[in-house]
Structure 1
Amino acid sequence: MAAISAWFWNERFWLPHNVTWADLADPAPGVEYPKAGHLLSALPLALWIFAVRILFERWRLMFYLCIFTYGIHFLWQTPWMWDTRHCWYNYPYQVLTPGMFYYYVSELAFYWSLMFSQFTDIKRKDFLIMFVHHLATVSLISFSYANNMLRVGSLVMCVHDSSDILLEAAKLANYAKYQRLCDFLFVVFGVVFFITRLIIYPVWILNSTLFESWDIIGPYPSWWLFNSLLLVLQVLHIIWSYLIARIAIKAMLRGKVSKDDRSDVESSSEDEGDPAKERIKALSLRSSFPKGENGTNGTNGTNGTNGTNGHCIPRARAHISHTC
């Protein structure tokens, strides 16, 4: 085990040249650097969040709103919010503040909870994509904490949380049957998603991690891995942008936001046209909604429409929100 540990925590992989773990292990009084062991505190918090999500499935809007507000308030006072080159000055000797610690652990716990719940939710066509996304996100947060890339990591988390608030708000508008508000919020969500994931993320963040860091600290093995994970995230952004664009185009053509292209359950075109299979599929979709008034499925839940009149964003179907 000692040999495996020594191999895994090899300083020449994790740290820039001429830096050792010993240099970070004994900081000056009152100074704290991130330690990998800190990440274990996220696991019990993740289990608690998972339990809360089981009891109160629709609480995600509040989490995204609170964590995004906290992130903006925290980052607004930092120099790297305004000049990303500060993410790399004096690296890796960058002090861990309590605010940064709480921000990181809360985000890590939340994404661990999403990974747990994916195995208990209804299996969807994009299950594998979502699993890769959650795995990449948890790996990025953990990895950036372990080698003290917290500054740029905090920017990545804040950018991703910004659009998720709008999607969760759109789903709440759908539950309340405010169709026009739902459509409006979804359109705004799509615009914010495209701007943050396809413009701000690559131009502001990837530019810093790929080029500014190269100039200031130079590449080393874990630098390549970190940037590879960030590029995987960008590929996922492109995939989800395509799915959102399809929904938006259908909304413009039909005058309302259509159902999520992914579907709640895995199905194929072979099922279409078979009354028995169509009935089974309809029942499986209806069973994914919470009970509403009079014991029906969803809000008013009549005419087999899952309580949404067949449009906007059904509960838990628009998991595009997990791209944070």
Structure 2
Amino acid sequence: MSALAAWFWNERFWLPQNVTWADLADTESGEQYPRAGHILSAFPVALGIFAVRLLFERFIAKPCALRLGIQGSGPRRAQPNAILEKVFMSITKCPDGKRLEGLSKQLDWDARKIQRWFRQRRNQDKPSTLTKFCESMWRFTFYLYIFSYGIRFLWSTPWFWDTRQCWYNYPYQPLTPGLYYYYITELAFYWSLMFSQFTDIKRKDFLIMFVHHLATVGLISFSYFNNMVRVGTLVMCLHDASDFLLEAAKLTNYAKYQRLCDAFFMFFAVVFVTTRLLIYPFWILNTTMFESWDLIGPYPSWWLFNGLLLILQVLHVIWSYLIIRIAYKAMLRGKVLKDDRSDVESSSEDEDTALNGTKTIHNMSSNGANRVNGHTASGQWAEE
């Protein structure tokens, strides 16, 4: 184990030339630098965030939803039928044409009626709008809080106004209480998302989002270990800028305020594209790749760090394309279209309406999309 630890924490990988871990030990003057052990404090904080979420959803989000007229009942339940139930549970949840024909003869039902039954049966175990509203309200509240905190914290830092300050005297940059709180809170939140993903609404991209959260945790931790926390705070704040807008769009959609929903989604799309395709490459990548090269020079973890940020930029392009496509269709048809990740299928009665464009946004991957160094690791320095 000691040999493995020595290999993993090799100073020539993590730190610039002629810098050792001993150099980053606590100083006599009381200055403290990021240390790997600090990351452990994120676990109890994550459990605390998860507990706060449960209380928030029950005592704040749910009363708000009921006041807005959102009911707790889920999709309409399928008519009890032993034969179809057996097929559904044991054979297939989406029967093909041949099986539909056989069931139609066996039950003397129209094939379309059987299709409707299977659709209702698939939907009846899905969560109610009330449940989805409470989940989105919690995310909206946290994203808005952490973005507000990030802006307030960064406003008083020199590196927010001059990104070259991220690299002056690197890695001998002391860890302030505000910076530590910001990092640990972000990290703990993504740990809490990993815990809660197994109890939250199950969606088609469950595995993708799990990998996304795992990568986000890894990227936040990675930037903390080698003390790239200054630029890390910029990345986290930049990615947080659009997340609460997407959650706001979902909330207004669940409450059936369609015009407000469309407005929030359009605002989200503008902010997302602006931050990810303009500010991120010309502000963040410029400092991590070019300014840092001039001031500290490359070393192994520097290459990996920038490689991950470039992968994130590729994801930004993909997500922006998907968002722009949804926004474009929304403008053509006058309403936001249903996201492909939607966890409730259209009922047969609504099929014609669905062909003309449905109204729901149900969770774009932003965690939206998105984040590194905090946010995406399917890239969402996670997050999206």
TM bin, normalised by shorter chain, reads 0.7 to 0.9
Paired position in structure 2 for 1:232? 311
Asked whether the equivalents of residues 140 and 247 of structure 2 are also in contact (C-alpha less than 8 Å), the reply is yes
Paired position in structure 1 for 2:23? 23
Paired position in structure 1 for 2:325? 246
Paired position in structure 2 for 1:321? 367
Hey, what's the Cα distance between the residues in 1 that align with 2:340 and 2:219? 28
Asked whether the equivalents of residues 65 and 165 of structure 1 are also in contact (C-alpha less than 8 Å), the reply is yes
Asked whether the equivalents of residues 136 and 229 of structure 1 are also in contact (C-alpha less than 8 Å), the reply is no
Paired position in structure 1 for 2:268? 189
Distance change (3 Å), C-alpha of 1:132 and 1:210? farther
- Which region of structure 1 is more displaced relative to structure 2, 132-141 or 244-253? 132-141
Hey, what's the Cα distance between the residues in 1 that align with 2:9 and 2:174? 21
Q: Which has the larger radius of gyration?
A: 2
Paired position in structure 2 for 1:210? 289
Amino acid at match of 1:18: N
How far the C-alpha of 1:220 sits from its partner, in A, is 0.7
Query: Of 235, 240, 248, which aligns to 1:156?
Result: 235
Hey, what's the Cα distance between the residues in 1 that align with 2:198 and 2:320? 24
Hey, what's the Cα distance between the residues in 1 that align with 2:153 and 2:366? 26
Asked whether the equivalents of residues 342 and 361 of structure 2 are also in contact (C-alpha less than 8 Å), the reply is no
Hey, what's the Cα distance between the residues in 1 that align with 2:149 and 2:26? 30
SS of equivalent to 1:94? coil
Distance change (3 Å), C-alpha of 1:118 and 1:40? same
- Which region of structure 1 is more displaced relative to structure 2, 14-23 or 107-116? 107-116
Task: Provide, for residues 203-230 of structure 1, a one-character-per-residue CA deviation record: whole Å limited to 9, x for no partner.
Answer: 1001111111111111111111111221
Amino acid at match of 1:247: I
Paired position in structure 1 for 2:251? 172
Query: Of 69, 87, 106, which aligns to 2:185?
Result: 106
Hey, what's the Cα distance between the residues in 2 that align with 1:149 and 1:16? 12
- Which region of structure 1 is more displaced relative to structure 2, 134-143 or 111-120? 111-120
Query: Of 251, 264, 282, which aligns to 2:343?
Result: 264
Hey, what's the Cα distance between the residues in 1 that align with 2:321 and 2:192? 26
- Which region of structure 1 is more displaced relative to structure 2, 77-86 or 229-238? 229-238
Distance change (3 Å), C-alpha of 1:53 and 1:313? farther
Q: Any stretches of 5+ residues in structure 2 without a counterpart?
A: 58-134, 371-382
SS of equivalent to 2:12? helix
Hey, what's the Cα distance between the residues in 1 that align with 2:201 and 2:255? 23
Paired position in structure 2 for 1:67? 146
Query: Of 354, 359, 364, which aligns to 1:311?
Result: 359
Following superposition of structure 1 onto structure 2, how do residues 72-91 of structure 1 map, counting pairs within 5 Å?
72-91=151-170
SS of equivalent to 2:283? helix
Asked whether the equivalents of residues 336 and 360 of structure 2 are also in contact (C-alpha less than 8 Å), the reply is yes
Asked whether the equivalents of residues 183 and 312 of structure 1 are also in contact (C-alpha less than 8 Å), the reply is no
Paired position in structure 2 for 1:220? 299
Hey, what's the Cα distance between the residues in 2 that align with 1:106 and 1:91? 24
Share of identical aligned residues, percent?
Answer: 74
Asked whether the equivalents of residues 182 and 312 of structure 1 are also in contact (C-alpha less than 8 Å), the reply is no
Distance change (3 Å), C-alpha of 1:31 and 1:39? same
Amino acid at match of 1:318: M
Asked whether the equivalents of residues 133 and 233 of structure 1 are also in contact (C-alpha less than 8 Å), the reply is no
Asked whether the equivalents of residues 336 and 358 of structure 2 are also in contact (C-alpha less than 8 Å), the reply is no
Hey, what's the Cα distance between the residues in 1 that align with 2:264 and 2:317? 21
Hey, what's the Cα distance between the residues in 2 that align with 1:313 and 1:54? 24
Structure 1 residue 43 and structure 2 residue 91: aligned?
Answer: no
Hey, what's the Cα distance between the residues in 2 that align with 1:239 and 1:233? 10
Asked whether the equivalents of residues 247 and 261 of structure 1 are also in contact (C-alpha less than 8 Å), the reply is no
SS of equivalent to 1:200? helix
- RMSD across aligned positions (CA): 2.2
Structure 1 residue 141 and structure 2 residue 257: aligned?
Answer: no
How far the C-alpha of 1:169 sits from its partner, in A, is 1.3
Following superposition of structure 1 onto structure 2, how do residues 269-308 of structure 1 map, counting pairs within 5 Å?
281=345
Hey, what's the Cα distance between the residues in 1 that align with 2:51 and 2:361? 24
Hey, what's the Cα distance between the residues in 1 that align with 2:275 and 2:153? 19
How far the C-alpha of 1:124 sits from its partner, in A, is 3.3
Hey, what's the Cα distance between the residues in 2 that align with 1:42 and 1:26? 21
Size of the aligned set, in residue pairs, is 286
Q: Any stretches of 5+ residues in structure 1 without a counterpart?
A: 266-280, 284-301
Paired position in structure 1 for 2:104? none
Asked whether the equivalents of residues 25 and 32 of structure 2 are also in contact (C-alpha less than 8 Å), the reply is no
How far the C-alpha of 1:121 sits from its partner, in A, is 3.6
Q: Which structure 1 residue ranges, 4+ long, deviate > 4 Å from structure 2?
A: 302-305
